[in-house]
Structure 1
Amino acid sequence: MKFVAVTACPTGIAHTYMAAESLEQTAKANGDTIEVETQGSAGSAPLDPQVIADADAVIFAVDVAVQGRERFDGKPVVEVGVKQAINGAAGVFDQAREAAKAGPSKPALTTKVGANDRTGTKVRQWLMTGVSYLIPFVAAGGLLIALSFALGGYEIVDAPKVTDQFDAGSLQGWAALMFQIGSAAFGFLVPVLAGFIAFAIADRPAIAPGFVGGAIAVTVGAGFLGGLVAGLLAGGVVSALKRIRVPRPVAGIMPVVVYPLLGSIVVGVLMYVVVGKPIAAATTGLTNWLTGLSGTSALLLGALLGLMMAFDMGGPVNKAAYAFAVGGLTTGTGTSLQIMAAVMAAGMVPPLALALASTVRKALFTEVERENGRAAWLLGASFITEGAIPFAAADPLRVIPSIMLGSATTGALSMVFGVTLRAPHGGIFVLPLIGKPLLFVLALAIGTVISTVAVILLKQLKAGVPESAGTTANTAAVSA
């Protein structure tokens, strides 16, 4: 049979390409043909319309909204998460064959996610779409701010505006410039989050109301939580407006003028007058609570964040913890910086632990896993948690609990030690920007060793060395 597929994950890096490779290899093993469009962070090459027309069915292996989904209207569609495509591609093709037999799906989709998806799936994809577009701003802005602190110290926040005073021959001048550029990038975080959540719900006419609602969320102090609400409101309002029938002569201007105008008015009124202030109060309360965390409370928060970072290794739960930490960076409080450090340290544990385990006990791992382990050293050091996915795909019941244990330990220790971090990413390469770097490394090392010991012990409970049953996903990861 002939299939086409689209793969997309929130970061558009590891999962996107691993899912594509797994689908391609499984199709080849089945004697089928498939062409995959990877909607990753580097952009994508759209599928040829004729290839789509000739396909028996479409596979969406996505955790975010599909770009250009309307191209597939009228084709039988199967939609799964990227991890399902990585871990169980054979089952995905079984679903696709059944869909092909059942016939075409209904056309005229009104949302960028599946019209027949469950509500929870839709909301998750809407939110993950916003996070996906948010990440480049986080990386650029956060690393620029971190660089400014490295060059000019923390007092650089009080430097005069570079538009009024800039000394190109001074290190402090360049530090101030980096800080103000990074701050400008960070200023887009909430509007971008809201705008692209709205985009995922109701397409391009909802972008303007979403951005407007997100900007108002910043103005009233509602923060990231306000951005989430603004995005959902904007998408919902524009979706409702699009259901109103209008005369054909007027229909052409609706998406360009009327939907953005009315949507912005409604969302603006709701954010300013109705929901903005209560959300701002809740955000302020949460910030004050975090600022006051100490002792046992901080330890438990660090452990929880560690569990979330390791649970799905770059999936929605991991991204929720990461977004929570990045949101705290904008407050600049000591506890918020501790949370960022705990999240990054905990996210580094899974790939490092599997790299260490596959090095010290090679007999417990397949040749492909050992090859993945060599790559996982660099991935872990760079804070790319996805480096652990090939191991979890092949042996989830032993690997996932083990890495969650180590990540929880590292997150808790990092919080107890009071380690701080102003950079949103970078792993071991931003060590000079970490407060109490030796304690950061100690927490990371302890969690890595705990996960390593746990995964080795659990694997030894099996009779013999792991079979190569999960190597399709592992080979996919190596190729990616």
Structure 2
Amino acid sequence: MKIVAVTSCPTGIAHTYMAAEALEQAGRAAGHEVSVETQGSAGTSALSAADIAAADAVVFAADVGVHNRGRFEGKPIVEATVKQAVNDAAGLLERAAEAAERAEPGQSGPEPAASGVAGAERAAAEAAAPDAATPAPETKVTATGGFGSNLRQWLMTGVSYVIPFVAAGGLLIAISFALGGYDVTEAPPVTEHFDPLSLTSWAALANQVGTLAMDFLVPVLAGFIAYAMADRAALAPGFVGGAAAVAVESGFLGGLLAGLLAGAVVAGLRRVPVPRAMAGVMPVLVLPLLGSAVVGALMFVVVGEPVAVVMQAVTGWLNGLTGTNAILLGALIGAMMAFDMGGPVNKVAYTFAVGGLSTGSETAHAIMAAAMAAGMTPPIALALATKIKRDLFSPAEHASSRPAWLLGASFITEGVIPFAAVDPLRVIPSIVVGSATAGALAIGFGSTLMAPHGGVFVLPLVGAPLPYLAAILIGIAVSTAAVLLAKRIGRGGRKPVGEPTAATATA
């Protein structure tokens, strides 16, 4: 069969491309012709219209909303996470083949619930033609997820678009403090005073540009959650709701709620029957207008203030964490960062740490330090383990260890996936205990970090950098020792038999 697929993960770095490799190799092994579109950080390798038209079935291996899903209308669709594609690509293709065999000639597969908009509606939105037809009623889609799965996908879409703003803004602010000290926040606007020969002026410039970037964080989060739910018409209501959340000081929680409200409101408005002559202006005028008015009013008048109270309570709780409680929180954040290696649990911990940066508290900066230390530990630990006891690892795992050093140092936890996919029961507990150790020690040693990404490259921006480095090294040592011990259990030190999956061997 001819199968087309789309892969996409929240960061668009590792899982996206590993899933694509896994599907392509599983397709070759099964005799299928598989073409994959990767919607990742390096850009989208778009499928051609001819490929889609000729496809017998479609596989969506995505943890975030798939762009332009309307292209696949009329095709049997199988949906899964990128982790499922990495671990069992052959099974996904088998499901796709079965779905294609069950599909009747001419069967229509409309837009899945995750996007909240039917393919005919998307075509009207993009063309905005005055003679556009009224959206067709929805029909059954093959293998779509439930509400919980869709909710996770909506939230992960918002997070994926926030990360570049957080990385750019957070790093600029951290650099400004390194150059000009914490008093740089009191510097006058650079539009009023800027001396190109003054280091303080450059620090003030970095701080003010970084602050502007961070100001987009909540509106972007809300806007793209709404986009994932109800397509482009929900972008404006989502951004407006996010801006309202900032105005009433409801922060990250307010942004999440605003995005969900905007998506739900616009998706509901889409279902209202309209005259044929109005269909073309609905997505570009009526839906953004009504959606923005409704969501803005709800955020300012109804839900914004209660959420702001909750956010203030969370901030107060973070600021009050000291001693053992803070260390235990660091251990929990660390364990979550390693548990699914860049998956949803990892992103929950990372988003919690990043969200705390907006509070400006020392505890929030300590939590960010714990999250980054814990995320760096797993790939480096497994790379080190392959050097210490070579006979416990396969040739493919040794090949995967080479990029794992840099991936771990760069705070890309996904670098450990090739090892975990081969031997999850030994590897995952080992990296969890090491990352929990690193997270707890980072907080216990008093380390802080205002940069949300960068790994060892932002080490000069860390508060108490030497103890922080020690926390990372101890976490690596714990994971390395644990995985070597676990590998010996039940194997007696013998060289592993067989090769890992194709996905792992090429990761």
Separation in structure 1 between the aligned mates of residue 403 and residue 43 of structure 2, nearest angstrom: 24
Q: CA deviation at 1:90?
A: 1.2
Match of 1:196, SS state, is helix
Match of 1:435, SS state, is coil
Partner of 1:61: 61
Q: Is the 8 A contact 1:69 1:112 kept in 2?
A: no
Separation in structure 1 between the aligned mates of residue 99 and residue 240 of structure 2, nearest angstrom: 40
Q: Is the 8 A contact 1:113 1:125 kept in 2?
A: no
Aligned letter for 2:194?
F
Separation in structure 1 between the aligned mates of residue 82 and residue 281 of structure 2, nearest angstrom: 37
Separation in structure 2 between the aligned mates of residue 374 and residue 178 of structure 1, nearest angstrom: 35
Q: CA deviation at 1:372?
A: 1.2
What TM-score, normalized to structure 2?
0.92
1:401-421 alpha-carbon deviations (Å, 9 max, x no partner): 110011111111111111101
Partner of 1:52: 52
Partner of 1:107: 109
Q: Is the 8 A contact 1:306 1:346 kept in 2?
A: yes
Alignment match of 2:328 (pick from 295, 300, 306): 300
Partner of 2:276: 248
What are the residue-to-residue correspondences of 1:31-50 with 2, within 5 Å? Answer: 31-50=31-50
Separation in structure 1 between the aligned mates of residue 223 and residue 324 of structure 2, nearest angstrom: 38
1:137-160 alpha-carbon deviations (Å, 9 max, x no partner): 111111111111121112111111
Separation in structure 1 between the aligned mates of residue 45 and residue 438 of structure 2, nearest angstrom: 40
What are the residue-to-residue correspondences of 1:289-368 with 2, within 5 Å? Answer: 289-368=317-396
Match of 1:468, SS state, is coil
Partner of 1:369: 397
Alignment match of 1:210 (pick from 207, 213, 238): 238
Alignment match of 1:228 (pick from 256, 260, 278): 256
Q: CA deviation at 1:188?
A: 0.2
Aligned letter for 1:100?
A
Change (3 A) 1:433 1:263: same
Q: CA deviation at 1:305?
A: 0.4
Question: Is 2:490 the counterpart of 1:462?
Answer: yes
1:267-296 alpha-carbon deviations (Å, 9 max, x no partner): 111111111111111111001111110112
Separation in structure 2 between the aligned mates of residue 471 and residue 91 of structure 1, nearest angstrom: 12
**Structure 1 spans left out of the alignment, 5+ residues:** none
Q: Is the 8 A contact 1:57 1:96 kept in 2?
A: yes
Q: CA deviation at 1:111?
A: 4.7
Separation in structure 2 between the aligned mates of residue 401 and residue 268 of structure 1, nearest angstrom: 45
Q: Is the 8 A contact 1:7 1:60 kept in 2?
A: yes
Separation in structure 1 between the aligned mates of residue 21 and residue 112 of structure 2, nearest angstrom: 30
Q: CA deviation at 1:467?
A: 2.7
Separation in structure 2 between the aligned mates of residue 102 and residue 405 of structure 1, nearest angstrom: 46
Match of 2:500, SS state, is helix
Separation in structure 2 between the aligned mates of residue 112 and residue 197 of structure 1, nearest angstrom: 11
1:107-148 alpha-carbon deviations (Å, 9 max, x no partner): 332655486421111000000100111111111111111111
Q: Is the 8 A contact 2:114 2:153 kept in 1?
A: no
Question: Is 2:167 the counterpart of 1:139?
Answer: yes
Aligned letter for 1:58?
V
Aligned letter for 1:94?
E
Separation in structure 2 between the aligned mates of residue 113 and residue 26 of structure 1, nearest angstrom: 28
Q: Is the 8 A contact 1:338 1:419 kept in 2?
A: yes
What are the residue-to-residue correspondences of 1:67-106 with 2, within 5 Å? Answer: 67-103=67-103, 106=108
Aligned letter for 2:163?
I
Separation in structure 2 between the aligned mates of residue 258 and residue 471 of structure 1, nearest angstrom: 50
Match of 2:197, SS state, is coil
Partner of 2:127: none
Separation in structure 2 between the aligned mates of residue 310 and residue 106 of structure 1, nearest angstrom: 41
Q: Is the 8 A contact 1:112 1:203 kept in 2?
A: no
Match of 1:37, SS state, is strand
Partner of 1:288: 316
Separation in structure 1 between the aligned mates of residue 497 and residue 328 of structure 2, nearest angstrom: 37
Match of 1:423, SS state, is coil
Separation in structure 2 between the aligned mates of residue 257 and residue 16 of structure 1, nearest angstrom: 34
Q: CA deviation at 1:97?
A: 1.2
Report which stretch shifted further, 367-376 or 431-440. Answer: 367-376
Partner of 2:228: 200
Alignment match of 2:435 (pick from 400, 407, 423): 407
What are the residue-to-residue correspondences of 1:373-452 with 2, within 5 Å? Answer: 373-452=401-480
Separation in structure 1 between the aligned mates of residue 277 and residue 25 of structure 2, nearest angstrom: 50
Aligned letter for 1:59?
V
Aligned letter for 1:187?
D
Separation in structure 1 between the aligned mates of residue 101 and residue 48 of structure 2, nearest angstrom: 23
Q: Is the 8 A contact 1:372 1:390 kept in 2?
A: yes
Aligned letter for 2:39?
Q
Separation in structure 2 between the aligned mates of residue 112 and residue 118 of structure 1, nearest angstrom: 9
Q: CA deviation at 1:45?
A: 2.6
1:163-191 alpha-carbon deviations (Å, 9 max, x no partner): 11111111111111011001000000000
Separation in structure 1 between the aligned mates of residue 420 and residue 156 of structure 2, nearest angstrom: 22
What TM-score, normalized to structure 1?
0.97
Match of 1:39, SS state, is strand
Q: Is the 8 A contact 1:152 1:176 kept in 2?
A: yes
Aligned letter for 2:500?
G
Aligned letter for 1:332?
G
Q: Is the 8 A contact 2:394 2:499 kept in 1?
A: no
| Aligned residues with identical type, % of pairs | 62
1:364-400 alpha-carbon deviations (Å, 9 max, x no partner): 0011111211221111111110110100111111101
Report which stretch shifted further, 294-303 or 193-202. Answer: 294-303
Q: CA deviation at 1:471?
A: 3.6
What are the residue-to-residue correspondences of 1:163-178 with 2, within 5 Å? Answer: 163-178=191-206
Separation in structure 2 between the aligned mates of residue 443 and residue 157 of structure 1, nearest angstrom: 30
Q: CA deviation at 1:42?
A: 2.0
Partner of 2:505: 475
Q: CA deviation at 1:340?
A: 0.5
Report which stretch shifted further, 99-108 or 239-248. Answer: 99-108
Match of 1:332, SS state, is coil
Partner of 1:24: 24
Aligned letter for 1:465?
K
Separation in structure 1 between the aligned mates of residue 260 and residue 46 of structure 2, nearest angstrom: 28
**Structure 2 spans left out of the alignment, 5+ residues:** 117-140
Separation in structure 1 between the aligned mates of residue 10 and residue 271 of structure 2, nearest angstrom: 29
Q: CA deviation at 1:46?
A: 1.6
Q: Is the 8 A contact 2:396 2:500 kept in 1?
A: no
Q: Is the 8 A contact 2:25 2:503 kept in 1?
A: no
Separation in structure 2 between the aligned mates of residue 106 and residue 122 of structure 1, nearest angstrom: 21
Match of 2:451, SS state, is coil
